[in-house]
């Protein structure tokens, strides 16, 4: 979501989803409903939140650093956001930094009127586009690549806002789910590959959009359908919905890591229960990499569904051998290094009397840098575990993501510089195994990965990027280019 150097060193030992979006049109108290929806998406970004509303004549915004509850618990704050249309955004900052100026939705006064945009994803040619716009005299107020979209819309020569918007998006590479507000209504769209998720629902007469179905559930909206890859939806204040497909037909490649980790387990993604997909990943792990052990122990909370599946398939009892403190936020999403390391120490504790003397199968969703995995293995040994076998509910994460997920450069990824045996030695486990890429695909409903035309974006595992990485091409010596990217027409 933000532009500077996409390869800077990033702290953390989990892949980080950058943001979540929520918007609705046609509801009284739209801002209050939006705040509730964003609260359900808090797991997608905990550093900053913003809501913009429109009352028929004027746009209003409130933004802040921290959680939704920190900024929108007050009725007075909600009262400052009148109107029957609102859009909001929760974010985790990455390459653009955590400055207040990057908090979304971003707003600008265009020739066609006010224009507010909330964006989940990343524009992989945002740097090039930004440089071109600056050379032509554009003045940027943020370091977010989302602002590039606003400038492209503003400078398009097409007569209508819709045509200007489409013209702008034709210049954009990468991933985006967008919720935009204009004086005429709301626009929602996904990139042609559908990399980032976006769903549509109904709440009475109101039309609602969200990154995940769980947000619809929480506000009491009925799920209608997913916004299709490459689809652009216009909704006016009378509730009329018009669908456009300006980018032609391209085989979609939604992010497979939404099934592994990003989405809440109570969401539905591509007509599949995320929880069930994660259980099935555990089943595949047990089929592919059984361990002779006494207990299956999840690394909470993200490893729990896969551990249940592993236990059910293997017959090894499932137990909570690690207890998580729920008064500590998702460790990786804390912005400062000091806060992150402090949280790691306070977040997990071994259930000592349970694991002592036992052979343990530890189940986690991924290994990124490996530092957390090392600490968890050591925690089990300190608690008296006889053996510790580590199983991972995703293939080795060996490549960076440039589509809206905050990952370290490849040299900082454990799988980017070690094979599985070396990784096992690094985390000091008795054995280590990952689910295969085909096993992951089976868990989410496919027989295997179609190597000629993959059904998902899985570049973090395979290096098979579905779009050009224009900004990264300036550093073509970077290991991300070990494999050529597929071209998108």
d(CA 343, CA 328): 6
**Can you say whether the dihedral through the CA atoms of 487, 457, 427, 325 is positive or negative?**
positive
What DSSP string describes 361-404?
A: EEEES--SSSHHHHHHHHHHHHTT-SEEEEEESS----S---SS
Contacts of 32 (CB under 8 A, 6+ apart): 78
Active site residues: 19
Using an 8 Å Cβ cutoff, are 79 and 34 in contact? no
Omega before 116 within 30 of 0, i.e. cis: no
- 309, 314, 317, 321 alpha-carbon torsion, rounded to 10°: -60
CB atoms closer than 10 angstroms to residue 135: 8
d(CA 224, CA 217): 12
Using an 8 Å Cβ cutoff, are 255 and 403 in contact? yes
Structure tokens at 427: 């985390």
Structure tokens at 107: 């707003």
């Amino acid at each position: 979501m933000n532009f500077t150097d996409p390869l800077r060193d990033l702290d953390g030992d989990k892949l980080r989803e950058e943001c979540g979006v929520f918007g609705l049109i046609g509801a009284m108290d739209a801002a209050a409903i939006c705040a509730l929806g964003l609260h359900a998406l808090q797991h997608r970004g905990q550093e900053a939140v913003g809501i913009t509303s429109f009352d028929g004549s004027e746009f209003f915004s409130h933004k802040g650093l921290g959680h939704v509850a920190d900024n929108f618990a007050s009725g007075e704050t909600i009262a400052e956001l009148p109107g029957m249309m609102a859009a909001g955004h929760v974010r985790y900052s990455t390459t653009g930094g955590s400055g207040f100026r990057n908090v979304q939705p971003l707003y600008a006064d265009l020739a066609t009127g006010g224009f507010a945009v909330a964006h989940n994803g990343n524009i992989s040619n945002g740097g090039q586009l930004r440089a071109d716009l600056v050379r032509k005299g554009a003045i940027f107020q943020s370091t977010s690549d989302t602002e590039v979209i606003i400038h492209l819309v503003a400078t398009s020569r097409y007569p209508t806002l819709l045509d200007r918007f489409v013209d702008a998006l034709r210049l954009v590479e990468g991933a985006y789910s967008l919720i935009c507000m204009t004086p005429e209504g709301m626009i929602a769209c996904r990139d042609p590959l559908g990399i980032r998720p976006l769903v549509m629902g109904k709440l009475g007469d109101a039309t609602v959009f969200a990154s995940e179905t769980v947000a619809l559930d929480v506000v009491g909206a009925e799920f209608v359908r997913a916004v299709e890859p490459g689809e652009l939806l216009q909704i006016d204040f009378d509730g009329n919905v018009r669908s456009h497909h300006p980018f032609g037909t391209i085989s979609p490649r939604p992010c497979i890591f939404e099934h592994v980790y990003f989405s809440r387990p109570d969401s539905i993604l591509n007509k599949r229960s995320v929880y069930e997909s994660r259980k099935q990943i555990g089943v595949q792990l047990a089929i592919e990499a059984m361990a002779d052990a006494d207990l299956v122990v999840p690394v909470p909370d993200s490893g729990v569904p896969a551990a249940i599946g592993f236990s059910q398939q293997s017959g090894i009892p499932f137990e909570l051998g690690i207890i998580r403190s729920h008064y500590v936020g998702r460790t990786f999403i804390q912005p400062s290094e000091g806060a992150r390391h402090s949280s790691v120490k306070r977040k997990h504790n071994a259930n000592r009397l349970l694991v002592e003397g036992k052979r343990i199968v530890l189940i986690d969703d991924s290994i990124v840098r490996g530092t957390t995995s090392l600490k968890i293995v050591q925690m089990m040994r300190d608690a008296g575990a006889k053996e510790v076998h580590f199983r991972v509910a995703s293939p080795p994460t060996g490549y960076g993501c440039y589509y809206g997920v905050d990952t370290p450069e490849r040299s900082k990824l454990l799988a980017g510089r070690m094979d599985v045996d070396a990784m096992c030695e690094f985390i000091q486990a008795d054995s280590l195994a990952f689910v295969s890429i085909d096993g992951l695909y089976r868990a989410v409903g496919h027989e295997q990965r179609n190597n000629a035309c993959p059904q998902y974006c899985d570049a973090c595992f395979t290096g098979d990027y579905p779009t050009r990485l224009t900004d990264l091409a300036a550093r073509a010596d970077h290991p991300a280019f070990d494999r050529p990217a597929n071209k998108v027409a």
